[in-house]
Copies of this chain bind each other. A is one copy, B any other.
């Protein structure tokens, strides 16, 4: 494919770093839900399902820090906070979903390999 080997190592580190960033328990699920449009905190929480308040807050803060989502506070009572994907967030979704598509297509082969391995 690409016969450039000069920066192979640091490139792989970068790949690894991104995968660890989006490879935590909730990030992808939250970003995917937000792909449908802006959402409020508890709305998002219900849409994801099974996530604790603390983890949703933590996940959203990290996404906001990295520029993947925006946080909009409406100073009303009760307070209302909207979360929305940025352009960067939507762009991230493209390669992430490509990997997801690959996963769905090949899950059978992986599970077959596992049964073979565990049986032996």
Residue numbers of A with Cβ under 8 A of B are 8-9, 11-20, 22-26, 28-29, 32-33, 49, 64-67, 88, 91-92, 94-104, 106-107, 109-110, 112-114, 116-118
Q: How many copies does the complex hold?
A: 2
A118 with B29, Cβ < 8 A, contacts A95-B98, A99-B15, A99-B95 known: no
Q: Which residues of B contact A22 (CB under 8 A)?
A: 19, 23
Chain B residue at smallest Cβ distance from A49: B9
A67 near B15: Cβ-Cβ < 8 Å? no
Q: For the complex, give the distance between the alpha carbons of A101 and B3 in Å.
A: 14
CB–CB B110/A66 < 8 A: yes
Q: Contact at B65–A104, with CB atoms within 8 Å? A: no
| Distance from A28 Cβ to chain B, minimum over Cβ atoms (Å) | 5
Min distance, Cβ A94 to any Cβ of chain B, angstroms: 7
Q: What is the CA–CA distance of A23 and B67 in the complex, to the nearest angstrom?
A: 20
Q: Is the CB of A114 within 8 A of B25?
A: no
A12-B28, A15-B100, A22-B19 known; A64 vs B106 contact (CB < 8 Å): no
A86 to chain B, nearest CB (A): 8
